[in-house]
Structure formats: structure tokens, C-alpha cells
């Protein structure tokens, strides 16, 4: 049996469509499903519905064999997992946002983000420095209310920024939902997983 | 006065049943090694850093716990047994009665970023075979490894086999076009199919099946080496039916031997022949690993064949290694 760790958040619909395109219909599962473990006996699989941030840990520790998670989340929390494919749908970007321009060389600023580890890596490549403020949500409020000069957050359409008179200063990462696999599970279910990946590639839902 | 029972990040204390299980498994493994003529080497937990400077990659350097002692000496806590054993034996190798069978056990300390479940202190038990004929040393080390692995009675056991330098030619040929060889190595190790596909059918086959459909694409001597590995696997598989023996060259893509690649890829890459890793249950971290490492001795001025392995007792006893679906 293969156990899937699926994210409750923004990447769930992308994952469901992709699995369906690869002849693994998980159609009894939908956003808002209250069940934590959902069996799919017809494909000898079981799905776990998890918070996005927990998916890498469940896969790394082998509780789930395969998971779907945002590349932003995996980069932030880390994880010794295989990353065989990126989904073609559901992509966005991680950007520096603020009210004015980028900080000037040598300037020390405050940077608000839900992704402090990525923020540190981004700042390390800049000619300016920053105190990182970890926020749990509404990161745009940081620069809007002068808690911080800049913020680092996911931008999809840019509408929230526009509605709040904020600017996308620089896109620093492309963000995509990715398929991750436990290293031992890849050895144990290699044939089934390669078949699944090939079907997803043929349907154009992953690259 | 109230005293906190908390411990620093990445270390653990074993009490009661946990300690008993640990010692029981360790004793079984030690008894087996001693019965087979392996002698124990007891090594210090700190050593000078200097002898290891040239052997350290950027990754292993960043994992070291080092400090200046009161005499002003730069010291390092033990992070790996094999280089320490090699540097102690290399100056005397010509005067020793070869072959030598040694085993060791104890803690190693490696700094790891703080993350759930990630340890910084590991209890290792390992063995080394020195001075045996090359192919024989590799086979001997692998057989001992497989024998010890099965006494752990873990869930589904998979041992992945490969050899250092197997993909060097393909990596060198495909690097360029915006991707360095180290990028390809990362992509292979993480099974990133889009990068492997970009590099051509052979690397995608290695990612999918562990080996290319046409071994000749590996070039020589790698193609002949793959044939020898297949023969070794075929010989050993019936002897260890409870272990799933697989050949997977992608698993060891970072174990390079080409000097130009070695400089670029910063791993603990001292292997230069057979390499193997064991997975138990669902754990992502190998419970044991080993291989042939003549190069480590030659870099210390001693010409001798060397093969060995080590187990992580903690990982062998972890709940992940008991998961069997």
C-alpha cells in the first residue's frame, strides 16, 4: 500500500487533479474533508490530509510514502526527501514587497516573513542587511503599518498588494507544488511510483 | 533546588528498556564480530584537527565540533571513526601483519541544524578489513555487513549497492549548458526527473531503474564494474533472502572519483570502490553504510586495500525502522 500525505491548503486541488490525470482518482476527497485518513482500496492507497508544514516530516519519517507540498515550505522546513517532480499548475512566486523601493546598499532594515530561513538566505545575497521578523500570517501588514520596511511573501496574482498600495519589489523564488517521496519508499515501491510519475508527465501535470 | 532534566539539542539519554535494547543489540553484533576474528579498536573521542584538514569536505568541516584546548591545541570531537583509524594505522601499515580485521564502537558527534528528530550524537558500531585482495575485501565487508544487519530483526530490509565513480563519465559529459556537474549530482541524488531527462535518456534510466539500459554509456572501467557488481549481487542474494539487494547508481551519484568532480562536490567522499547503504522499514536515513576506501589510506601515504562499514545503533532501533507496509 502507498500512503499519500496531501496538503489541506492551496495545493490540494492541484494535487487531486494531477493524481486523477494519472489514473489515480482520489475523487472521494475534497477540500474541507474532515477525515484524517482516507482509504482508496481500488488503487491500494491511503491519503492523509495534513497541514502543509507537516507534509515533509511525515514523508521523511516514512509515515507517508509520497507527499505534495509547496517548494517554499520544503525549502523553509528542510527534509531529506526525494523530489522527482514539480507540478505545472499552482505556481506562484516568492517576492520582496514594500511601500517604496528595495533597501539601499549598506542599509539595515526589518523584514517580516513567514519564511525566516528563506529570508535569511535571500538577505545573505543582498548588499543590505535585515533583522528578520517571523510572522504567522498577514505578512503584508508588516510594511503597510511600518512594522518592517520590507516583507517576503508568496505573490500569486498581486491583487492583495495592489489593494493595499504595496509594491512587488523583487521576485526571489519561483514557487511550485512538488511531489516528494520518502527515500526508503522509493526503493520499496519503485515500479509503482515510476509508473505514476510517467503517467503524470504524459498528462502534462508535472515536469 | 530544582534541576531541569532537559538535554542539549540533538542528544538523548537512554534509560531502562531503551538502554537494555541498545546494549543487547550491540552485544549481539560485537559477539558476532569477535567470533569471526575481528579485534576491537578503542579510539579517543577527541583528536587534533590538523591530520584531518586535507580529508575534510566543506560539508564535513561544517559538521565538526572543534575547540581550542587550554594548551592552545585545535582539537575536534570524533565525527567519524574510519579517518581516525586510517590516520593511526597508515604510518605503520608496512610493519603490520595483514590482513587486519578491526571493529569499533562509540559515539560520534556531528553538528546538524536543529530540526525535529535530527540527532547530533550517534552511536556507531563498525568494522574494517585491511590488506585483503581488493575484490575479496569488498565482498568480505559486504557479507559481514549483511550478516550483522539481519540480527537487528528490523522490518523490510533493503540494501542498495553501487560503486564510486559509476556516473562520473555521464556527469562530465552532460555538465555545461547552465548546469554544473554538482547540480546534476544533486538532481540525481534527489531523483529530479526533469534535470535527468534534460541530460539524456541514460541518466533518466539511472534515476528510474538504478542502472542504464546500455551499461556501455558508463564508459570503462565503470561498465565492467557494473557487470561485476551484478555478479556479486547474484551470488549473495540467495544467501540473504531476508534482505532486498538492489543496484542503484543514482543513490551514490555524489560518490565521485574523477579529480575534477571531487573538487567540485563537497561530500564525505572517500570511497573509491564498492559502496552500499541499508534502509530498514520506512526510515529515510540509512541504518548502515560502507564500502571500499583505499584512497583514504593512499592520501595518508599508505598503499593498502581497505573496506568497511558502520551501523547506527540508534537508527536500527528507531520506530521508523519497524514500519512495514
Which residue of A lies nearest to B196 if distances are taken between CA atoms?
A84
Q: Which residues in chain B touch residue A84, judged by CB atoms under 8 angstroms apart?
A: 190-193, 207
* A184/B284 touch (CB, cutoff 8 Å), yes or no: yes
* B282/A80 touch (CB, cutoff 8 Å), yes or no: no
* B192/A207 touch (CB, cutoff 8 Å), yes or no: no
Mark whether A110 and A131 lie in a shared domain: yes
Q: Which residues contact A20 (CB under 8 A, 6 or more apart)?
A: A26, A27
Q: Which residues contact B142 (CB under 8 A, 6 or more apart)?
A: B161, B232, B236, B274, B276, B290, B309
Residue with cell 549473495: B236
Task: Tell me the count of A-B CB pairs closer than 8 A.
Answer: 68
Mark whether A85 and A117 lie in a shared domain: no
Mark whether A185 and A147 lie in a shared domain: no
Distances (CA, A) of B252 to A183, B154, B210: 13, 23, 10
Mark whether A73 and A142 lie in a shared domain: no
Q: Which residues contact A4 (CB under 8 A, 6 or more apart)?
A: A19, A26, A45, A46, A47, A48, A64, A65, A66, A67, A68
* A78/B283 touch (CB, cutoff 8 Å), yes or no: no
How far is the alpha carbon of A34 from chain B, nearest alpha carbon, in Å? 25
Quick check: helix, strand or coil at residue A119? Answer: helix
Q: Which residues in chain A touch residue B115, judged by CB atoms under 8 angstroms apart?
A: 77-78
Q: Which residues in chain A touch residue B287, judged by CB atoms under 8 angstroms apart?
A: none
Q: Which residues in chain B touch residue A80, judged by CB atoms under 8 angstroms apart?
A: 284-285
Per-residue pLDDT of chain B in tens (325 residues, 90 and over written 9): 788 888 888 888 999 999 999 999 999 999 999 999 999 999 999 999 988 887 777 778 888 999 999 999 999 999 999 999 999 999 999 899 999 999 999 999 998 877 666 788 999 999 999 999 878 999 999 999 999 998 876 778 999 999 999 998 888 887 766 677 778 888 889 999 988 888 788 889 999 999 999 999 999 899 999 999 999 999 999 999 999 999 999 999 988 888 877 777 755 568 899 999 999 887 778 999 999 999 999 989 999 999 999 999 988 988 777 776 6
* Total tally of structural domains belonging to chain A: 2
Which pLDDT score is estimated for A36?
A: 83
Which pLDDT score is estimated for A9?
A: 81
Please tell me which of the candidates A80, A83, A182 has its beta carbon nearest to residue B282.
A182
* A194/B156 touch (CB, cutoff 8 Å), yes or no: no
Mark whether A78 and A141 lie in a shared domain: no
- What is the residue-wise DSSP string for A88-111? SSS-EEEEEEESS-PPPTT-EEEE
Angle at CA of residue B131, ends B130 and B133, nearest 5°:
120
For chain A, residues with pLDDT lower than 70 are: 30-33
Q: Which residues pair with B321 in a beta bridge?
A: none
Mean of per-residue pLDDT scores for chain B: 89
Please tell me which of the candidates B117, B156, B284 has its beta carbon nearest to residue A183.
B284
Q: Which residues contact B28 (CB under 8 A, 6 or more apart)?
A: B151
Please tell me which of the candidates B191, B209, B323 has its beta carbon nearest to residue A62.
B323
Distances (CA, A) of A54 to A14, A179, A207, B199: 18, 14, 24, 33
Question: Taking Cα atoms as reference points, which of A110, A151, A150, A145 lies closest to residue A131?
Answer: A110
Mark whether A68 and A116 lie in a shared domain: no
Which pLDDT score is estimated for B267?
A: 55
Query: Residue A152 has which C-alpha cell?
Result: 517576503
Query: Residue A80 has which C-alpha cell?
Result: 531529506
The radius of gyration of chain A from alpha carbons, rounded to an integer in Å, stands at: 19
ipTM for this model = 0.85
Please tell me which of the candidates A3, A60, A186 has its beta carbon nearest to residue B191.
A186
Which pLDDT score is estimated for B4?
A: 85
Question: Taking Cα atoms as reference points, which of B62, B71, B67, B18 lies closest to residue B47?
Answer: B67
> Which uninterrupted H or E stretch holds A7?
strand A2-7
Q: Does the residue A133 lie in any domain?
A: yes
- Whole-model pTM: value is 0.89
* A61/B283 touch (CB, cutoff 8 Å), yes or no: yes
What is the C-alpha separation between A117 and A37, in angstroms, rounded? 31
Q: Report all structural domains of chain B as residue ranges with CATH numbers, in order of start.
A: 1-154+299-313 (3.30.930.10)
Mark whether A124 and A77 lie in a shared domain: no
* B283/A207 touch (CB, cutoff 8 Å), yes or no: no
**Contact status, residue A187 vs residue A154, Cβ threshold 8 Å:** no
Q: Which domain holds residue A43?
A: 2-90+176-202
Mark whether A85 and A7 lie in a shared domain: yes
Mark whether A8 and A86 lie in a shared domain: yes
| B185-210: burial string, b at 16+ Cβ within 10 Å, e else | bbbbbbbbbebbebbeebbbbbbbbb
* B246/A187 touch (CB, cutoff 8 Å), yes or no: yes
Mark whether A84 and A160 lie in a shared domain: no
* A61/B113 touch (CB, cutoff 8 Å), yes or no: no
Which pLDDT score is estimated for A100?
A: 86
* A201/B117 touch (CB, cutoff 8 Å), yes or no: no
**Which of A22, A91, A120, A183 to mutate against chain B (most B CBs within 10 Å)?**
A183
Q: Which residues pair with B158 in a beta bridge?
A: B244, B279
* B284/A61 touch (CB, cutoff 8 Å), yes or no: yes
**Contact status, residue B247 vs residue B230, Cβ threshold 8 Å:** yes
Chain A: residues touching B (Cβ < 8 Å): 1, 3, 57, 60-63, 65, 77-78, 80-86, 181-188, 190, 194, 197, 201, 207
Mark whether A82 and A182 lie in a shared domain: yes
Q: Does the residue A207 lie in any domain?
A: no
What is the C-alpha separation between A74 and A71, in angstroms, rounded? 5
Query: Residue B125 has which C-alpha cell?
Result: 558500531
Q: Which residues in chain B touch residue A87, judged by CB atoms under 8 angstroms apart?
A: none
Mark whether A120 and A73 lie in a shared domain: no
Q: Does the residue A168 lie in any domain?
A: yes
Q: Which residues in chain A touch residue B160, judged by CB atoms under 8 angstroms apart?
A: 187
CATH number, domain containing residue A69: 3.40.190.10
Amino acid at each position: 500500500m502507498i500512503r499519500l500525505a496531501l496538503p489541506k491548503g492551496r495545493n490540494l486541488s492541484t494535487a487531486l487533479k494531477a493524481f486523477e490525470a494519472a489514473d489515480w482518482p482520489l475523487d472521494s476527497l475534497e477540500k474541507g474533508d474532515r477525515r484524517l485518513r482516507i482509504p482508496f482500496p481500488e488503487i491500494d492507497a491511503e491519503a492523509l490530509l495534513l497541514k502543509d508544514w507537516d507534509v515533509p516530516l511525515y514523508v521523511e519519517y516514512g509515515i507517508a510514502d509520497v507527499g505534495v507540498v509547496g517548494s517554499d515550505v520544503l525549502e523553509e522546513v528542510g527534509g531529506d526527501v526525494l523530489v522527482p517532480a514539480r507540478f505545472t499548475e499552482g505556481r506562484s512566486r516568492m517576492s520582496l514587497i514594500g511601500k517604496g523601493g528595495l533597501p539601499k546598499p549598506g542599509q539595515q532594515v526589518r523584514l517580516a516573513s513567514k519564511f525566516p530561513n528563506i529570508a535569511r538566505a535571500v538577505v545573505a545575497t543582498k548588499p543590505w542587511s535585515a533583522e528578520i521578523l517571523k510572522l504567522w500570517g498577514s505578512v503584508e501588514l508588516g510594511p503597510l503599518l511600518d512594522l518592517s520596511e520590507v516583507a517576503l511573501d508568496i505573490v500569486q496574482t498581486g491583487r492583495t498588494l495592489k489593494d493595499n498600495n504595496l509594491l512587488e519589489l523583487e521576485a526571489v523564488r519561483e514557487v511550485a507544488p512538488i511531489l516528494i517521496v520518502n527515500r526508503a519508499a522509493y526503493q520499496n515501491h519503485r515500479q509503482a511510483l515510476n509508473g505514476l510519475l510517467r503517467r503524470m508527465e504524459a498528462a502534462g501535470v508535472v515536469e | 533546588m530544582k534541576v531541569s532534566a532537559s538535554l542539549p539539542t540533538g542528544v538523548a539519554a537512554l534509560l531502562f528498556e531503551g538502554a537494555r535494547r541498545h546494549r543487547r543489540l550491540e552485544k549481539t553484533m560485537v559477539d558476532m564480530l569477535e567470533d569471526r576474528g575481528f579485534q576491537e579498536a578503542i579510539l579517543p573521542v577527541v583528536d587534533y584537527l590538523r591530520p584531518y584538514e586535507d580529508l575534510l569536505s566543506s560539508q564535513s568541516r561544517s559538521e565538526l565540533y572543534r575547540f581550542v584546548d587550554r594548551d592552545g591545541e585545535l582539537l575536534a570531537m570524533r565525527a567519524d571513526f574510519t579517518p581516525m583509524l586510517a590516520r593511526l594505522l597508515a604510518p605503520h601499515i608496512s610493519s603490520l601483519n595483514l590482513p587486519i580485521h578491526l571493529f569499533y564502537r562509540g559515539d560520534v558527534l556531528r553538528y546538524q541544524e536543529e530540526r525535529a528528530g535530527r540527532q547530533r550524537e550517534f552511536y556507531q558500531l563498525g568494522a574494517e578489513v585491511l590488506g585483503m585482495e581488493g575484490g575479496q575485501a569488498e565482498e568480505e565487508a559486504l557479507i559481514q555487513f549483511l550478516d550483522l544487519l539481519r540480527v537487528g530483526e528490523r522490518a523490510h530490509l533493503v540494501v542498495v549497492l553501487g560503486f564510486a565513480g559509476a556516473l562520473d563519465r555521464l556527469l562530465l559529459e552532460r555538465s555545461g549548458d547552465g548546469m554544473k556537474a554538482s547540480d546534476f549530482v544533486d538532481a540525481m541524488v534527489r531523483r529530479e526527473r526533469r534535470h535527468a531527462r534534460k541530460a539524456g535518456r541514460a541518466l533518466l534510466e539511472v534515476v528510474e531503474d538504478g542502472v542504464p539500459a546500455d551499461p556501455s554509456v558508463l564508459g570503462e572501467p565503470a561498465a565492467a564494474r557494473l557487470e561485476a557488481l551484478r555478479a556479486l549481487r547474484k551470488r549473495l542474494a540467495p544467501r540473504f533472502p531476508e534482505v532486498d539487494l538492489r543496484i542503484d547508481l543514482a543513490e551514490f551519484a555524489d560518490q565521485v572519483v574523477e579529480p575534477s568532480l571531487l573538487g567540485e562536490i563537497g561530500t564525505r567522499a572517500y570511497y573509491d570502490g564498492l559502496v552500499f547503504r541499508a534502509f530498514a522499514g520506512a526510515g529515510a536515513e540509512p541504518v548502515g553504510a560502507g564500502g571500499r576506501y583505499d584512497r583514504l589510506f593512499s592520501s595518508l601515504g599508505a598503499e593498502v586495500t581497505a573496506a568497511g562499514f558502520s551501523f547506527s545503533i540508534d537508527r536500527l532501533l528507531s520506530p521508523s525502522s519497524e514500519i512495514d507496509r
